[in-house]
Amino acid sequence: MEGKTALVTGAAGGIGEAIVNALAERGARVAAVDRDADRLRERVKYAVEQGYPVQSFPADITSSTEVESLVDDAEALMGPIDYLVNAAGVLRLAEARKLTDEEWATTFAVNTTGVFFVSRAVVNRMVTRRSGAIVTVASNAAGTARVEMSAYAASKAAATMFTKCLGLEVAEYGIRANIVAPGSTYTPMLTSMWKDDSGAQASLDGVPEAYRVGIPLRKLAQPGDVADAVVFLLSDKAAHITMHDLTVDGGAALGV
């Protein structure tokens, strides 16, 4: 990955930050994108202190205008984008019938429409170069029903199928598009779901009343576990893999 350029959304989040650092460790120049400018600045400062070639690009991926400007700026400063990782995501918990209009709209704006806007902007440039690799970070919830996660699960399912369709359409240009679907990963998004100190154990053991099984490997994923899967699918070691959905959940979805 030496000398390649990557753009990573959600770069201030737990998984996004791990992906940025994993790519930079392997020699890629990384355009780190997030709406939270202050937190992004802190993450990028740390990466730069480690000697990584990372630059921050604060942007709202729910705006197509901002996204087009972002991609133009990133390519002007860092070179043509070889890798795209759609890692931005939000979670709004509520029973389906109690979700507000705002909760539903915000979830899809970031998790689905944002993936569309960024992928479209980057891929239109990749096509002219006839190369590139994309990974969308979805969720095992995209294929497994979860209590109080209907908006999140539906948005991730939509992003998953969008990415597969995109991969089919751009395969003739040598562009690959894959999905990584994490399960419970030790990030602020996961811990925000815990009501007390028993949250971690409940993730491991399962919650029968919520029809949720535990994690057969008996451990939570770390952000680096997800980042490793993303790096593999972007790399030349996955040169003949496209439209694939790689689940990284310790067996929580029972292989479905």
Residues identified as active-site: 152
Q: Helices marked H in the chain — which ranges?
A: 14-25, 37-49, 64-78, 101-108, 114-129, 150-170, 188-191, 199-205, 223-234
Q: What's the rounded Cα separation, in Å, for the pair 195 and 215?
A: 19
What residue type is assigned to position 59 of the chain? A
Q: Which two tokens stand for residue 94?
A: 């509520």
Q: What's the rounded Cα separation, in Å, for the pair 180 and 158?
A: 14
Burial 92-113 (b: 16+ CB within 10 A, else e): beeeeeebeeebbebbbbbbbb
For 179, the 3-state DSSP assignment is strand
Residue 2 burial (10 A CB sphere; 0-12, 13-18, 19+): exposed
Is there a contact between 242 and 167 (Cβ–Cβ < 8 Å)? yes
Q: How many residues does the chain have?
A: 256
Going from the C-alpha of 46 to that of each of 43, 64, 86, the distances in angstroms are: 5, 29, 21
